[in-house]
A and B are shown apart, each in its own frame.
Chain A
Amino acid sequence: MSENTATAAVAPTSGPPGESRARRAVTGFLGSAAGRNTGLVVALVLLCLVGVITAGDRFADVDNLLTILRLASVIGVVSVGMTFVITGGGIDLSVGAIVALSSVWATTLATQSVANDTHWLVLVSTAVAVGAGCGVVNGVLIAYGRIVAFIATLAMFAAARGLAEIISNRKTQIVNVQGFTQFFDASVLGVPVLIIIFAVVAIAGWVVLNRTTFGRRTFAVGGNPEAARLAGIDVRRHTVLLYTLLGVCCGIAAVMLIARTTTGSSTHGGLYELDAIAAVVIGGTLLSGGRGTIAGTVFGVLIFTTLSNVFTLNNLSISAQAVAKGAIIVAAVLLQQRLARRGDT
């Protein structure tokens, strides 16, 4: 899969004259998106190899594969949205809280009774609308209120979960909407609906980021907002749109979580912000913005969920898993920095 950078057109593509052709080819490949994704594929394959060696057929099994993908799907959808915001030079710490708020709002007795009288899509659209609304608030505060993204979304992080607790009275709300669970529990050609949703979101995200004006503007805004503004892009409007897009993704993730648990709760989505940012960063998207890859993010999510699966299969504790996760993040970022430096020379 290809990838764009805002500076691609002006960056020198050849190395210094003294450098050997072969080395240039290698660094060029490693520095390119394909090279980075190759690194991720290798990491994932290694992880799978560990899985097969330690757990054998229990790992290499269709049911187990589906278990991994189902676990990946909810956080995966959030991470795709997060890729846009980070590529656009921002950050969002409130995604977990938005997922919780959307899940609670969509499962209140009022929403459920309306959904039962009309259609379960009411529940879905409520969750998505709440997510989008939170995204708009984030975006407006950042773009027009000139509040640093870190702080604005930190405020949303606290407020959205608090609001979710108020609405739900800190109780778990059970979903009893006709048709909703049946739809999301189903499989198409053996593939569960949740996984299909993740695939659709990921593919749509890739197309939007790499093949549309919106995507190009995202790279431009993240790479150099001032240059983007001078080039005629409405940077503030675009920023609002980016956070709204992420909010919509959170709404979709909330629907998936409601389907997976048949509940809405203010405790849903705990630490999703960190999981999503970690997946995006090890995928190769620059935290400083201007460079981003959806394929990398998808691999990042898969690496973490496969890791957790391998640990579960081997009876290892969550604590050991957290340590491994930390090591992977550091290794990925160090590698990224090396590649970025080489790319600059």
Chain B
Amino acid sequence: MSHNRITRARTFAAILATGVALTACTGNTPDTTPQAGGQAGAKVANDEPGEKVVIGFSAPAADHGWMAAISAAAKTEAEKYSDVELKVVEGTNDVSLQISQVETFINDKVDAIVLLPFDGAAMTPVALKAMKAGITVINVDRAFDSPFAARSTVLGDNYGMGVSAGTYVCEKLKGKSDAVVAEIAGIDSLPLTQDRSKGFADALGECGLNVDNRVAAEFTVESGEKAAANLLQAAPRIDAIWNHDDDQGVGVMAAIKNSGRGEFFVVGGAGSANVMREIKADNGLHKATVVYPSTQGADGIRLARLAVQGKSLGDLVEVEVPRQIELFAPVVTKDNVDDYLPTAFES
């Protein structure tokens, strides 16, 4: 085990040092080291079992459906591969504790760490430490603030999410220049929330609208209810609401129901199954939601496995796993909901 790791660490160092990506293709037999490959571009059946990969996985507390789905999807994905051993420490919103979890992975000499940080910037130092120790770090969802802290990064398109939502609102409110648009954001201290809001504002600006009322919740049902109740109190007339997150949306809809109002339509975010079912039935205020894939952690597991085994990403010509993958943020409406419902998460 430790011998393997040293080999891999050395390999990794070699890749970094030479900057030449010739080592990607390796045979699928466990005893072949990446250096022995030398058959760049050759076809590799990625799903065939390769050398054993130990992956550590850490994410924030599963206090809402999306985050719970992230961990669940990652575990399910790991179980599909006989050559992956997954160590999961789930759930903490205390950065100090999450740092110590990653330190434990480093002590354990795992091959790769898939990390969804509570706060990307705060987890950067320990991720750097892991990379220095020769561990392949895959950063998911909330980006580190150093490019050296991760081998690859899987991100949802947060700015794109805002743009998608804003564009949809523009379409629906076409011609109403005095329309009142409200926004219920998620945790404001996260860069991803700031990106979403910026995208939303930019897209609205394209059609001459702007965000008239903005409140922030914390992704949880309770916080959504509180924020929405305040918003409804503050704005006597609303034409459209974009709610960043369908989990907090459960609370948002509860507050709207209590107020007895319904002069507006709601666009959701993240894409939970219950919101999609409402869109499909077309009997509620939700007319659309913007997908923010809850399978990012699972993608992180796959990437970690490929990167450690020195395999390439199937359908790309590239021989190495890419540095960054940004997922698409499509708008789900009544017309296309059936395509997205199967992968939606339950909140």
Contacts and interface: CB of A to CB of B under 8 A. Distances in A.
Interface in A264-298: 265-268, 270-271
Interface string B90-104: 111111110111011
B122 A172 contact: yes
Nearest to A73: B96
A70 B91 contact: no
Contacts of B89: 312, 315, 318
Given A260-B99, A260-B125, A315-B88, A170 B189 contact: yes
A173 to B, nearest CB: 8
B189 A67 contact: no
B108 A271 contact: no
A318 B92 CA distance: 7
B125 A261 contact: yes
B119 interface: yes
B122 A67 contact: no
Contact of B100 (A70, A170, A265): A70
Nearest to B128: A262
A197 B123 CA distance: 22
Contacts of A165: 189
Interface in B173-224: 188-189, 191, 194, 216
Given A61-B107, A70-B100, A315-B88, A263 B94 contact: no
Given A171-B194, A265-B189, A308 B100 contact: yes
B97 to A, nearest CB: 7
A171 B145 CA distance: 13
A174 B189 contact: no
A125 interface: no
Contacts of B90: 317-318
Interface string A223-267: 000000000000000000000000000000000010011110111
Contacts of A308: 97, 100
Interface in A300-330: 305, 308-309, 312-313, 315, 317-319
B103 A67 contact: yes
B143 to A, nearest CB: 12
Interface in B35-60: none
Interface string A111-151: 00000000000000000000000000000000000000000
Given A268-B95, A309-B100, A318-B61, 9 more contacts: A64-B104, A68-B100, A171-B194, A172-B122, A262-B125, A263-B119, A265-B189, A267-B119, A317-B90
17 contacts: A67-B103, A71-B99, A71-B100, A170-B189, A170-B216, A171-B191, A257-B96, A260-B96, A261-B119, A261-B121, A261-B125, A263-B122, A265-B95, A271-B94, A309-B104, A312-B104, A315-B89
